[in-house]
């Protein structure tokens, strides 16, 4: 065997720590540890830790120290057997006496402080957040893209050209037709400099990579230049980011969303549309596990929305709810509390109101206010539509767990 | 250095019973054990390492495990022993620590012992002399050592690691823990590994403290 390197040893030791090595691999590690007293020390300390965890009842809380030290009087084998039988009972018993004491009971927190999660499990020991955009387990309510998975989808362009004129209709090439729909407006120019304008026409038909407009009485000729509105182009960029994400190209999706967000700043779009672009970027940041960037972008989007007097309570509520969930996942509970309390409860969408109530319940659980948490979860469940079974299951799991805590 | 357990070498305990020589090559193991003995406060680390290896060898399960994991002149296809590497190293640590305590106790001429006293059983004042601890006694010492590790180090761990280790200690499998905590199995494996490594870091600091306190 060649002389083991530090990285080899570290990697093996990590696997040994999590119990993933075979006896032969353990032997290899043991022999390698003889190369250096420091390695042997490391391995011995790891082995002692593993042995401690596997043969001694793990302390549930400091007050129980006297109890779990008593097996000193027993032989090792007896202690192991007793530990396996007694610990689960002991922990359940303890839970009845103090809500602040963690337990391994299936529907109670197992750690010192509840940690919010987005992952659904029917018997989750942790409070589960509801956040429509972040909930990876829940299908997003974006428009379904009926398109192939091909890699070579063309990038949408802000301007294109007329490629044929026939039977009163002009066919235009704009790269991707993402963002265009029947009735979308396009401007026609005679020159590339976009100075000599023909007029504004409406899209009559959208194909996979081309779209047609009705010419009417306008002077539209081959190679004339077409420009889509800023709003449609932004929509096209975001739609393509969605497509890249759906194909698993998260890096590409983030890059495109970032471009879209930057492009939208000077563009002629509404503040809400600009906020939407930043929000898409934030969601992709989150999916890429870059929570700091996600928070920055969610906050930027929120700043935009709050300055727009025309922002709908639903848009604002959704963004605040997502951001609150994100900051809770990052452990900033004060910020989450502020966001949730600012969140308008007058949203027209019951699922948004329920989301807010569920997440207020999570926050109450974190603060160990079980009664308040139960109240919030109950209210959330009462207004959650029956056609949202995933959301209902999450809130039901939260309610079931918290009911066992007081 | 060859193990010379059956001989009366430097540091050999006067009261130790007659031993059988250990077959096989354990030179490198003795070197690292001596280093540990030094850390634990031994004044004659090589002798302590040799004594610890000899006493470990007297346990048949330890013998098979020593052969499998550390003997250098043995075929690779030897059957895996009943003890895991964790058990063997915990055992070796216990025996070595006992030997070092014994050495210190002899030096201090403090012979009173009561293993069931509330004070630290490892204190040299509490180590009996003449003494050749039986397997039961060593098992008790090991048990107390493991309990001490948990009581000192476990509360210092992150809550996620505590949760995973607690459930793992209760005998749950990865998938069961993952379902319980609402996490992926890979996350559970990572937390488990990190939890054990953090616990090990605390054990190392504790060992250094033991050596300094002696």
My answer on whether B73 and B150 are in the same domain is: yes
Chosen domain end from B154, B175, B204: B154
Say yes or no for a CB contact (<8 Å) between B87 and A111.
no
DSSP 8-class letter at B114? -
Distance, CA of A26 to CA of A265 (rounded, Å) = 58
My answer on whether B134 and B206 are in the same domain is: no
My answer on whether B74 and B88 are in the same domain is: yes
Chosen domain end from B137, B154, B171: B154
Distance, CA of A221 to CA of B42 (rounded, Å) = 97
Q: Does B140 touch chain A (CB under 8 A)?
A: yes
Q: Which range marks the domain in which residue B166 is found?
A: 157-214
Share of chain A above pLDDT 70, in %: 76
| Closest-approach residue (CA) in chain A for B94 | A48
Q: Which of residues 62-121 of A touch B (CB under 8 A)?
A: 62, 65, 68-69, 71-73, 75-76, 79, 83-84, 87-88, 102, 104, 106, 110-113, 115, 117, 119-121
- The DSSP bridge partners found for residue B166 are none
Distance, CA of A51 to CA of A20 (rounded, Å) = 15
Mutate: best of A35, A56, A289, partner B, most B CBs <10 A: A56
Say yes or no for a CB contact (<8 Å) between A60 and B192.
no
Q: How confident is the model at residue A41 (pLDDT cuts 50, 70, 90)?
A: very high
Chosen domain end from B135, B154, B173: B154
Q: Which of residues 255-274 of A touch B (CB under 8 A)?
A: none
**SS3 call for B49:** helix
Q: Spell out the CATH class of A247-403.
A: mainly alpha
Distance, CA of A95 to CA of A105 (rounded, Å) = 9
Cβ within 8 Å of residue A330, ≥6 positions away: A291, A295
Distance, CA of A281 to CA of A284 (rounded, Å) = 5
> Nearest CA to CA, how far is B41 from chain A (Å)?
15
| pLDDT, position B159 | 81
Cα A48 to its chain centre, rounded Å, is 38
Mutate: best of B66, B71, B74, B146, partner A, most A CBs <10 A: B146
Average pLDDT of chain B to the nearest whole number: 75
Say yes or no for a CB contact (<8 Å) between B200 and A30.
no
Q: How confident is the model at residue B134 (pLDDT cuts 50, 70, 90)?
A: low
> What is the pTM (predicted TM-score) of this model?
0.46
Q: B85, A51 in Cβ contact below 8 A?
A: no
My answer on whether B121 and B132 are in the same domain is: yes
Counted domains in chain B: 2
Q: Is the peptide bond before B204 cis (omega within 30 degrees of 0)?
A: no
Mean pLDDT of A120-136: 77
ipTM of the complex: 0.81
* A82-114 pLDDT per residue, tens: 444 444 444 443 333 333 322 223 233 333 567
Distance, CA of A171 to CA of A130 (rounded, Å) = 45
Share of chain B above pLDDT 70, in %: 73
My answer on whether B51 and B140 are in the same domain is: yes
Which region among A84-98, B78-92, B199-213 has the lowest average model confidence (pLDDT)? Answer: A84-98
Which region among A200-209, A359-368, B89-98 has the lowest average model confidence (pLDDT)? Answer: A200-209
My answer on whether B70 and B168 are in the same domain is: no
Cβ within 8 Å of residue A124, ≥6 positions away: A117, A397, A398, A401, B181, B182
Which region among A173-177, A377-381, A386-390, B197-201 has the lowest average model confidence (pLDDT)? Answer: A173-177
Distance, CA of A58 to CA of A40 (rounded, Å) = 25
Distance, CA of B211 to CA of A190 (rounded, Å) = 88
Residues in chain A: 406
| pLDDT, position A374 | 92
| pLDDT, position A406 | 60
My answer on whether B104 and B146 are in the same domain is: yes
Q: How confident is the model at residue B121 (pLDDT cuts 50, 70, 90)?
A: very low
Q: How confident is the model at residue A299 (pLDDT cuts 50, 70, 90)?
A: very high
DSSP 8-class letter at B75? -
Q: Is the pLDDT assigned to residue A123 strictly greater than 70?
A: no
Say yes or no for a CB contact (<8 Å) between A87 and B197.
no
My answer on whether B123 and B213 are in the same domain is: no
- A156-232 CATH pick, 3.90.870.10, 2.40.30.20, 3.40.50.1980, 2.60.120.10: 2.40.30.20
My answer on whether B167 and B145 are in the same domain is: no
My answer on whether B144 and B63 are in the same domain is: yes
Distance, CA of B191 to CA of B211 (rounded, Å) = 30
Q: Which of residues 112-131 of B touch A (CB under 8 A)?
A: 116
Question: What is the end-to-end Cα distance of chain B in Å, rounded?
Answer: 27
Average pLDDT of chain A to the nearest whole number: 77
Q: At what angle do helices B135-153 and B185-213 cross, to 10 degrees?
A: 110
* Boundaries of every domain in chain A: 6-55, 62-97, 156-232, 247-403
My answer on whether B147 and B102 are in the same domain is: yes
CATH of residue B195? 1.10.10
The three-state DSSP-derived secondary structure of chain A is CCCCCHHHHHHHHHHHHCCCCCHHHHHHHHHHHCCCHHHHHHHHHHHHHHHHHHHCCCCCCHHHHHHHHHHHHCCHHHHHHHHHHHHHHHHHHHHHHCCCCCCCCCCCCCCCCCCCECCCCCCCCCCECCCCCCCCCCCCCCCCCCCCCCCCCCCEEEEEEEEEEECCEEEEEEECCCCCCCCCEEEEECCCCCCCEEEEEEEEEECCCEEEEECCCCCCCCCCEEEECHHHHHHHHHHHHHHHHHCCCHHHHHHHHHHHHHHHCCCCCCHHHHHHHHHHHHHHHHHCCCHHHHHHHHHHHHHHHHHCCCCCHHHHHHHHHHHHHHHHHCCCHHHHHHHHHHCCCCCCCHHHHHHHHHHHHHHHHHCCCHHHHHHHHHHHHHHCCCCCHHHHHHHHHHHHHHHCCC
């Amino acid at each position: 065997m060649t002389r083991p390197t530090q990285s080899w040893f570290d990697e093996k030791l990590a696997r040994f720590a999590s119990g993933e090595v075979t006896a032969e691999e353990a032997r290899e590690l043991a022999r390698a540890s003889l190369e250096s007293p420091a390695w042997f020390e490391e391995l011995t300390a790891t082995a002692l830790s593993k042995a401690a965890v596997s043969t001694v009842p793990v302390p549930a809380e400091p007050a129980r120290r006297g109890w779990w030290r008593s097996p000193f009087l027993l032989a090792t084998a007896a202690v192991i057997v007793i530990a396996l039988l007694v610990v689960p009972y002991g922990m359940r018993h303890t839970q009845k006496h103090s809500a602040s004491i963690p337990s391994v009971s299936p529907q109670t927190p197992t750690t010192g402080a509840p940690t919010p999660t987005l992952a659904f499990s029917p018997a989750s020991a942790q409070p589960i957040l509801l956040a429509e955009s972040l909930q990876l387990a829940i299908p997003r309510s974006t428009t379904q893209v009926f398109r192939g998975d091909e890699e070579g989808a063309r990038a949408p362009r802000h301007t294109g050209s007329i490629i044929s004129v026939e039977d009163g209709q002009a066919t235009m090439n704009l790269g991707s037709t993402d963002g265009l729909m029947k009735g979308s407006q396009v401007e026609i120019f005679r020159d590339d400099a976009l100075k000599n304008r023909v007029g504004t026409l409406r899209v009559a038909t959208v194909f996979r990579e081309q779209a047609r407009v009705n010419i009417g009485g306008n002077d539209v000729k081959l190679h004339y230049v077409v420009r889509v509105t800023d709003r449609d182009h932004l929509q096209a960029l975001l739609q393509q980011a969605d497509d890249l994400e759906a194909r698993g190209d998260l890096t590409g999706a983030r890059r495109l969303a970032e471009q879209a967000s930057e492009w939208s700043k000077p563009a002629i779009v509404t503040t809400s549309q600009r906020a939407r672009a930043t929000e898409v970027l934030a969601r992709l940041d989150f999916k890429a596990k870059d929570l700091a960037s996600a928070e920055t972008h969610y906050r930027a989007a929120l700043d935009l929305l709050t300055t727009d007097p025309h922002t709908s309570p639903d848009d604002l509520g959704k963004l605040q709810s997502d951001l609150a969930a994100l900051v809770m996942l990052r452990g900033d509970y004060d910020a989450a509390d502020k966001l949730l309390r600012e969140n308008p409860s007058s949203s027209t969408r019951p699922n948004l109101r329920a989301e807010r109530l569920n997440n207020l319940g999570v926050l109450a659980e974190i603060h160990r206010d079980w009664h308040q948490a139960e109240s919030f979860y109950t209210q959330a469940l009462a207004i959650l539509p029956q056609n949202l079974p995933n959301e209902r299951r999450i809130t039901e799991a939260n309610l079931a767990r918290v009911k066992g805590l007081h | 250095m060859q193990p010379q357990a059956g001989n009366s070498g430097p540091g050999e305990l006067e009261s130790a019973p007659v031993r059988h020589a250990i077959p096989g090559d354990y030179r490198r193991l003795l070197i690292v054990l001596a280093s540990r003995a030094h850390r634990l406060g031994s004044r004659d680390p090589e002798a302590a390492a040799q004594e610890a290896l000899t006493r470990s060898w007297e346990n048949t399960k330890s013998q098979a495990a020593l052969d499998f994991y550390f003997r250098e002149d043995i075929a690779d296809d030897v059957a895996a022993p009943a003890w895991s590497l964790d058990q063997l190293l915990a055992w070796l640590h216990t025996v070595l620590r006992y030997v070092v305590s014994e050495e210190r106790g002899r030096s201090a001429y403090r012979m009173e012992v009561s293993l069931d006293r509330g004070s630290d059983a490892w204190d040299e004042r509490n180590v009996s002399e003449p003494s050749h601890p039986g397997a039961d006694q060593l098992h008790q010492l090991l048990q107390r050592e493991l309990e001490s590790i948990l009581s000192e180090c476990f509360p210092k761990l992150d809550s996620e690691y505590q949760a995973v280790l607690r459930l793992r200690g209760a005998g749950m499998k990865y998938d069961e823990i993952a379902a319980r905590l609402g996490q992926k199995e890979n996350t559970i494996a990572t937390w488990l590994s990190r939890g054990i490594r953090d616990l090990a870091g605390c054990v190392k600091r504790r060992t250094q403290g033991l050596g300094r306190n002696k």
